[in-house]
Structure 1
Amino acid sequence: MSGRIVVVTGASGGIGRAVAQGFGARGDTVVLLARGERGLAGAVRDVQDAGGTAVALPTDVADHDAVFAAAARVEQEIGPIDTWVNVAFTSVFAPFRQIEPDEYKRVTEVSYLGFVYGTMAALRHMTPRDRGTIVQVGSALAYRGIPLQTAYCGAKHAIQGFNEALRCELLHERSNVHVTMVQMPAVNTPQFSWVLSRLPRQAQPVPPIYQPEWVARAVLHAADHPKRREYWVGSSTAGTLAANALAPGLLDRYLGRTGYRSQQTGTATDGERPANLWDPADGPDGKDYGSHGIFDKRAVATDPQLWASQHHGVLVGLAGAVLAGAVGLRLARR
């Protein structure tokens, strides 16, 4: 399974960076698509140190011409693309009424249309030879919206619907090109330090928080086994999806009461923090943020949920149902 040509968008930091390094450890050639110069340079070193070959192509995934050109360049100069992984995103942490139209548009162009353009680019080359794999990195928020993240949740919901529809078309065509989606939990990535925030306090992922290297394993597994419709990573993801399916109205009320507080630390927002909505935080004047965020002390590196997801979700369903029942009972008593 080694020696493949893999394209990863959003490869300069966070999950994308960890995924690129994981493919590099297999000896793959990893093409890194992102905007940030310092982050891309760091990702190249990570892939090479892991044992792979790295090629950096600075690309804004919101620019479809740039994405198509990057894919064509890979095919012409490196070789046929075996796997394409869509990870790149941006967002705004703020109540909906505090987000400007152009900001919402930008989030949608990067976090949703970036996945569409990447998939289009990959299919242009994979379909004629009837082979290849596309992995969409999603989120539990593809099924369950939460406050303060309307733009991000909207994009992840859109990716989910788009991917399901495309998968049906490929099945109709009996294509040997496969698409799959990996639904992520809260992950300790740099996004909480560089996403545009109008929150009064430092944004944080809702615990339990997982390390990028751990969730990256699910992406590599999905690339190896793309016939599965989707994978769920993290016990919190399974529980959230199950609770939303069984008691969505109660979950709305619960998140309405707790969602603001649980997504912020007790520390005031730094007025000097960067925002990568329009320009990369890891550009020439920025720094390389790497794959990890600022929550290393609270993040975990293992979780039995990944094993369960890889084994057809039998344990996922059981655990999720139990958790959903407990959440529903708790809410019903309030």
Structure 2
Amino acid sequence: MNAAAGSDGTGRGPGRVVVVTGASGGVGRATARMLAGPGTAIALLARGESGLRAVADEVAAAGGRALPIETDMADFAQVEAAGRRIAAELGPIDVWINNAFSAVFAPFLQISPDEFRRATEVTYLGYVHGTRVALDHMVPLDRGAIVQVGSALAYRSIPLQSAYCGAKHAVAGFTESLRCELLHGRSNVKVTMVHLPAVNTPQFDWLLSRLPRPAQPVPPIYQPEVAARAIVAAAARPNRREYWVGAPTVLTILANRLVPGLLDHYLARTGYRAQQTDRPSDPDRPTNLWRPADGPGQPDQGAHGAFDDRSHPHSPQAWLSRHRRLALALGGVGAVLGAYAWRRR
């Protein structure tokens, strides 16, 4: 059975069971909203109580069935228990979307070993744990799809995010190894990656930061719905190895292949300023490295961050990437018309 069987092309479909990690805010929240619909059951994994409760209500309001489970993805026992509960209450898992992460905004020498370890355990080992549990459920049935939410920073690291960049590089390497093993075993379980650009999410308000000014995404910035559309498309069509979202992601990955040394010097000059606003930092703001910022008594953060006025709601590149056949067909028609017009001159 194909991993996308029963889907309507949007990742939704009758009887589908989808798992979204990091579902309480940001990209995970936007993805859960987009997947929600009649007949779709969504298991929502995250640490934040208020965010989980809110996204579960949104899924239910859209006609879907929600199963919120407070889960620390760095703890394999918790992830394994969540997998068992999902299978028991919702049924066999069709799609598992790994998205949860944490990070520290600071120069490497200002990050303690414990902080670096914690960020790596959530952002890298959280994907490993989620993937292992997903495979434990999918491989015996020989069907299913795993979507790894990656980043342009999985290919091109930037200053002040060493823990996050290292983890995203590790996720890419781990996923490529796993894909080869699944192909070797002729498994019908598929694994794909979706690499994102800078996205307007609450992470910049709640990640641990030691920067003198508040952290910000490196412009151009996209709304989380742009990322969610690509993730939902990948869940419906997981045979592609990777999806690159946004022109900046494409340019960053390609430039790093061609002139990595030049990018080193460019980012050394611009990377510090580009990742900070002009406002002073708030020393009392919550951080979510060790505990959720949307825990008991804390407000729900939603999907969007503080940069709505600077964020793009659409990406032509991402649309073309999701509709490659149509793009090629239109390009062919354009070439034929161009040749005809040239001959008529």
For residues 314-333 of structure 1, the C-alpha deviation after alignment (integer angstroms, 9 at most, x for no partner) is 989xxxxxxxxxxxxxxxxx
For residues 40-81 of structure 1, the C-alpha deviation after alignment (integer angstroms, 9 at most, x for no partner) is 011111212222111101100000011011001111222000
Query: Match for residue 239 of structure 1?
Result: 251
CA change 1:136–1:147 in 2 (3 A) is same
Query: Match for residue 21 of structure 2?
Result: 9
CA change 1:129–1:296 in 2 (3 A) is same
Q: What is the Cα deviation at residue 215 of structure 1?
A: 1.2
> Hey, which bits of structure 1, 4+ residues long, moved more than 3 A?
311-316
1:163 to 175, 181, 184: 175
- What TM-score do the two structures reach when normalised by structure 1? 0.92
Query: Match for residue 326 of structure 1?
Result: none
1:56 aligns with 2:61: no
Whole-Å separation in 1 of the counterparts to 2:33 and 2:62: 6
Whole-Å separation in 2 of the counterparts to 1:25 and 1:129: 25
1:29 aligns with 2:34: no
1:143 to 145, 148, 155: 155
Q: How does 1:84-103 map to 2 (within 5 A)?
A: 84-103=96-115
Whole-Å separation in 2 of the counterparts to 1:286 and 1:276: 12
Letter in structure 2 aligned against 1:132: G
- What TM-score do the two structures reach when normalised by structure 2? 0.89
SS in 1 for 2:132: helix
1:275 to 278, 283, 287: 287
- Structure 1 vs Structure 2: percent identity of aligned residues? 62
SS in 2 for 1:183: strand
For residues 211-247 of structure 1, the C-alpha deviation after alignment (integer angstroms, 9 at most, x for no partner) is 1112100000000110100000011100101111110
**More strand, by proportion:** 1
Whole-Å separation in 2 of the counterparts to 1:161 and 1:314: 31
CA change 1:314–1:197 in 2 (3 A) is farther
SS in 2 for 1:57: strand
Whole-Å separation in 2 of the counterparts to 1:25 and 1:206: 33
For residues 120-174 of structure 1, the C-alpha deviation after alignment (integer angstroms, 9 at most, x for no partner) is 0000010001000000000000000000000000000000000000001101111
SS in 2 for 1:266: coil
Letter in structure 2 aligned against 1:304: P
For residues 17-60 of structure 1, the C-alpha deviation after alignment (integer angstroms, 9 at most, x for no partner) is 11111110364111000010001011111212222111101100
For residues 165-213 of structure 1, the C-alpha deviation after alignment (integer angstroms, 9 at most, x for no partner) is 0001101111000000000000000000000000000100011111111
1:117 aligns with 2:132: no
For residues 63-109 of structure 1, the C-alpha deviation after alignment (integer angstroms, 9 at most, x for no partner) is 00110110011112220000000000000000000000000000010
For residues 287-312 of structure 1, the C-alpha deviation after alignment (integer angstroms, 9 at most, x for no partner) is 10000000001011011111232245
Q: Which has the higher mean CA deviation after the structures are superposed, 198-207 or 300-309?
A: 300-309
Structure 2 gaps, min length 5: 1-6, 8-12, 329-345
1:219 to 231, 252, 257: 231
Query: Match for residue 19 of structure 1?
Result: 31
Whole-Å separation in 2 of the counterparts to 1:259 and 1:309: 28
Query: Match for residue 79 of structure 1?
Result: 91
Whole-Å separation in 2 of the counterparts to 1:172 and 1:307: 32
Q: How does 1:166-185 map to 2 (within 5 A)?
A: 166-185=178-197
Query: Match for residue 311 of structure 2?
Result: 299
Letter in structure 1 aligned against 2:234: A
Query: Match for residue 40 of structure 1?
Result: 52
What number of residue pairs does the alignment pair up?
316
For residues 246-288 of structure 1, the C-alpha deviation after alignment (integer angstroms, 9 at most, x for no partner) is 1000000000000000000100111111110001000013110
Whole-Å separation in 2 of the counterparts to 1:265 and 1:313: 40
Q: Which has the larger radius of gyration?
A: 2
